[in-house]
Amino acid sequence: MRRFRGFADLELFAGEHVVVVGEPRAGRTDLITGLRRVLDPRSTNGRPHLLDVYRPVPAVGEDGADELTEVEVTVVGLDDAVAQDLDDRLEVIDPDTGLPAAEDRAAEAVMGLRLCYRLRFDPASETAEHWVEYPKTGQRAPRAERELVAAIILDRRAPLQLRPDGTFRHLVADADEADLLAALADLNADMTSATDRLTSSTSIRKTIDEVLDSGAARLLEMTGSAPAADIGFAADDGSVSAILRALQPTIALDGAGPLPLTAHGSTTTGVLAAAEAVVSASAPGAIVLADDFGDDLDAASAEYLAALLRRNSGQVWLSTRRPDAVRAFAAEEMVRLTRSHGDRRAHQLATTTGRKERAARRYLHPLLLPAMTARTVALLEGPHDLEGYTAIADRRLRQRGVAPPSAHGVRMVAPANGDGGKDELPKLARLARDLGFHVRVVLDNDKPGADAALITELTSIVEQVVQLPERSSVERALTHGVDATRLRTALRRLVAEHGLTGIDVAAIDDKDLEGKIVKVLKQKGGLHQPFVEALPPGIRMPLAKKVLDTLCSPPGADVLVEIELP
């Protein structure tokens, strides 16, 4: 893909299936659209889309002014019948690159088809032309030949539509077109008969006579003996298509009887539309393109229907914002697009049989998929850290309008291994880096010097390591710098609301109060969030503030950032 929309230059090698995720504006829709330009035989019927041209457009005489917008696709594993029909167009393809095979790779080569969509734009006249050709010969591909490798495009349309342009109508016609035509003829006859009976009713006939007798018949020159017989009723223009446009599906759910589909909400409509897509994609060897899949589906439906698409298609390219849909695909089938590295890039995980790599990929679904649209992941040691810093970020937003890390494209995540997973951080950091995330890490410093080897390893992987002051942890970040009176208020609420026993808040000396609360916060599975909520309004936790402010700021030149105690 060269100079297409926001892609200056992109090479992507797809496996059996592809699910596309990524940062906002990184090109998910543009990638699917580029494939449509090549694989949809109708793509060159109309005028070129000038927004397909990479911007800014070079002026006449500047470098790149003569370069074309191009999207090239290599298709291998063609159906035998299709391969035979396109025999003269096939090339010997290197399966590792998707390009014509060199002589020394002939033994591993396969037969395949290359197609290229090209768009030429003249900025001086603001005119453009586009076509699809065979790069092998430079000859333009006839539509009849493009139809042989046409992709199935899953557009977001209303389901169960019998009108001529409906997906459901095409599926019915494919199943038995003769039966469909007979049923439509019967519908037309029945509709005509019904309207005739309606018109012949005494009250309607009488009223028509009165209208015509009031001057209409004379002015319209209706001179027959029974002018009322010349008036009838029809749906719209009287065609079967008009009747079908007016018909809308109904469905009986939850004992409410048949109701229009729109009355059942967007999820029901989305499920039926996606199920229609699954049926459409069941053609042998079909290439299926779907953009923004699952936006109107619940989590379980998105995962299941995506799995059915993957199962039924020869190859599916599915873009989505929903982590649930990604679960239907292998880790190696995910392509994550980014733009925060300075240009648009595509990141893929390589196939691996290594034990450590496979173990690290177990973090993909629970931790990284929910963050797949974020630019940066901030890795914390464990669930207590995540709960504590998240609670403070939420409190700052509610009380003072301070933007949390998420507003800066940063998603905080943590291994959920009991009380934490400090030793798992390098594995998780490598996995996130390989997927194109900017990666930061926040470390406690309970035992000064104990994490030297870990820090050395992490600084070689991530963009930033934030380390708390000596003998500090997330619990101290929540308590340090808060005056004793307000700490006591919060501790009393914790004791009362969470049934903590053996704690006499009034008897605790001020100098021991912070240390006591640090221990209390680790009880009952972690009381970090309730403690933050128990603090009176207006409280600022300076150590936690420094951590969050660091995460909300761009990383500096120094990878290791050692927070000083306020």
Domain ranges for the chain:
41-150, 167-248, 354-562
pLDDT level of residue 420 (50, 70, 90 thresholds): low
pLDDT of 114 reads 97
Residue 244 to residue 242: CA distance in whole angstroms: 5
On the question of a cis peptide bond just before residue 415, with omega within 30 degrees of 0, the verdict is no
**What's the rounded Cα separation, in Å, for the pair 109 and 102?**
9
Q: For 280-291, what is each residue's pLDDT tens digit?
A: 877 778 899 999
Which is it for strands 438-443 and 464-467: parallel, antiparallel or unpaired? parallel
Calpha distance 312→254 (Å, rounded) = 30
| Nearest-angstrom CA–CA distance, 323 and 329 | 11
Rounded CA Rg of the chain? 33
Contact call for residues 68 and 120 (beta carbons, < 8 A):
yes
Residue 134: the pLDDT is: 97
The predicted structure's pLDDT at residue 556: 94
What percent of the chain shows pLDDT beyond 70? 99
pLDDT at 289: 94
pLDDT at residue 299 tops 60? yes
With 80 as the cut, is the pLDDT of residue 416 above it?
A: no
Residue 165 has a pLDDT of: 80
pLDDT tens per residue across span 423-457:
899 999 999 999 999 999 999 999 999 999 999 99
pLDDT higher than threshold 80 for residue 213 = yes
Distance CA 513, CA 507 (A): 10
Burial class (CB in 10 A: 0-12, 13-18, 19+), 525: exposed
The answer to whether 30 touches 6, Cβ cutoff 8 Å, is: yes
258-260 and 250-252 strand pairing: antiparallel
Residue 1 has pLDDT above 70, yes or no: yes
Q: Name which of 191, 112, 149, 123 is nearest 38 in CA terms.
A: 149
Q: Residue 224 has what pLDDT?
A: 84
| pLDDT given for residue 454 in this prediction | 96
Q: Which is more confidently placed, 455 or 274?
A: 455
Q: What are phi and psi of 53, to 5 degrees?
A: -80, 135
* pLDDT band (50, 70, 90) for residue 417: low
Q: How far apart are CA 26 and CA 344, in angstroms?
A: 6
**Tokens 């079967």 appear where?**
240
Rounded distance between C-alpha atoms, residue 490 and residue 517, angstroms: 9
Q: Which residue has the higher pLDDT, 11 or 266?
A: 11
CA separation for the pair 202, 206 (Å, rounded): 6
Which residues lie across from 53 on neighbouring strands?
A: 4
| 295/291 Cα distance (integer angstroms) | 10
The DSSP output letter for 474 is H
Nearest C-alpha neighbor of 381 from the set 460, 466, 438: 466
Tokens of 158: 């209303």
Residue 41, pLDDT above cutoff 90: yes
Report pLDDT for 376: 98
The predicted structure's pLDDT at residue 232:
84
Amino acid at 185: A
pLDDT given for residue 266 in this prediction:
87
Q: Are 439 and 432 in contact (CB under 8 A)?
A: yes
Q: What are phi and psi of 35, to 5 degrees?
A: -65, -35
Per-residue pLDDT at 338 exceeds 90: yes
pLDDT tens per residue across span 136-191:
999 999 999 999 998 988 887 888 888 888 888 888 998 899 999 999 889 888 88
For 176-184, the CB contacts below 8 A with 24+ separation are 184/240, 184/244
Q: What is the DSSP letter of 512?
A: H
pLDDT of the residue at 43 = 95
Give the helix/strand (H/E) hosting 69: strand 69-76
Residue 4: pLDDT band by 50, 70, 90 thresholds? very high
Best-predicted range by mean pLDDT among 74-83, 183-192, 279-288, 397-406? Answer: 397-406
| Of 31 and 125, more confident | 31
User: What's the pLDDT score for residue 200?
Assistant: 87
What average pLDDT does the segment 353-377 reach? 91
What would the mean pLDDT of 332-338 be, rounded to a whole number? 97
User: Can you tell me the mean pLDDT for 446-475?
Assistant: 96
Task: Give the chain's mean pLDDT.
Answer: 92
- Rounded to 10°, the helix 299-312/266-280 angle is 10
Q: Which of 15, 168, 158 is nearest to 98 (CA)?
A: 15
Q: How far apart are CA 100 and CA 93, in angstroms?
A: 4
Q: Got the DSSP string for 278-326?
A: HHHTTSTT-EEEESSTTTTS-HHHHHHHHHHHHHH-SEEEEE-S-HHHH
Compute the distance between CA of residue 513 and CA of residue 522 in angstroms, rounded to an integer: 15
289 Cβ neighbours under 8 A, 6+ residues apart: 32, 35, 36, 39, 151, 152, 153, 154, 316, 317
Q: Which residues contact 34 (CB under 8 A, 6 or more apart)?
A: 1, 4, 5, 7, 71, 117
Q: What is the rounded CA–CA span in Å between residue 126 and residue 241?
A: 39
